[in-house]
Structure 1
């Protein structure tokens, strides 16, 4: 059974998932990891969503307001043992719904070009590539996406 929990950055399950996410990104990003890590802190995140499978935290995502009409999706992650179950799509839809409930009109996000499964996920969920926004302008490994809600 899958259960979603709306929470905050101090949630221990979220913190644990972010540790796993950061470890995976360190491998994927290689030499670029230190650069990206500076933008992946959790202090500026406004809302956190966690997916539980049989009461185990298996996926997460978070939101932060970029401006009065746009939310940025951050810290999307699914534990390796839970991949292929659609949890990333469930988290993404949950974050979009939460954004709409809060009155936002758009969502944007950044991912690395080496993260091909993430890129495919976002495209399959109606996201289109947009120009890289700050702080990712002119960052060769970054690709940004957006979606009207």
Structure 2
């Protein structure tokens, strides 16, 4: 049984999970194509940080929603490999989408990479469609940009 809730990212178990995510991203892409948010950014009031915990209360996944006036961007989506396929990512995305809707966000966006076909498939199942770069992103062959209208 998974529990999904918003929590502070400033916890040792979460910091360790984010380090795993960084190592994973850097195994797939060069550093200049990894658009990671640091802990200080994740602690800002316009960022909602969601955590997935297993039945033993261990943290097994996380995702963040960065709210701007124009959109909410999904960042730091990660589920430990050993618990993938149990619905954690889908539940994390549902919580982020509800938070975006609660804030009146018209659009959800995200950036992922072509070396993560499972992630792209998950986002497509959640209603996201490919789009061009948004915000401060530049066109990058190692980036896949996606969006979902909440209207």
For normalisation by structure 2, the TM-score amounts to 0.88
- The structure where strand makes up a greater share of residues is 1
Match of 1:41 in 2: 38
- State how many pairs are aligned: 145
CA 1:148–1:42: 2 relative to 1, 3 Å: farther
1:37 shift after superposition: 4.1
Which residue matches 1:88? 89
Instruction: Tell me by how many angstroms 1:38 deviates.
Output: 5.4
Given that residues 47 and 64 in structure 1 are in contact (C-alpha distance below 8 angstroms), is that contact kept between their aligned partners in structure 2?
A: yes
Alignment of 1:96-115 (within 5 A): 96-115=97-116
Mapping for residues 1-149 of structure 1, pairs under 5 Å? 1-29=1-29, 32=30, 34-37=31-34, 39-45=36-42, 46-54=47-55, 55-65=57-67, 67-149=68-150
Is the Cα–Cα contact under 8 Å of residues 107 and 148 in structure 1 kept in the other structure? Answer: yes
Distance of 1:99 and 1:13 partners within structure 2: 26
Query: Contact 1:128 / 1:147 at 8 angstroms: preserved in 2?
Result: yes
TM-score by length of 1: 0.89
Q: Is the 8 A contact 1:128 1:146 kept in 2?
A: yes
What's the C-alpha RMSD, in Å, of the aligned pairs?
Answer: 1.5
Residue 132 of structure 1: how far off its partner (Å):
1.4
CA contact (8 A) 2:108 2:149 kept: yes
- Cα distance in 1, alignment partners of residues 35 and 147 from structure 2: 22
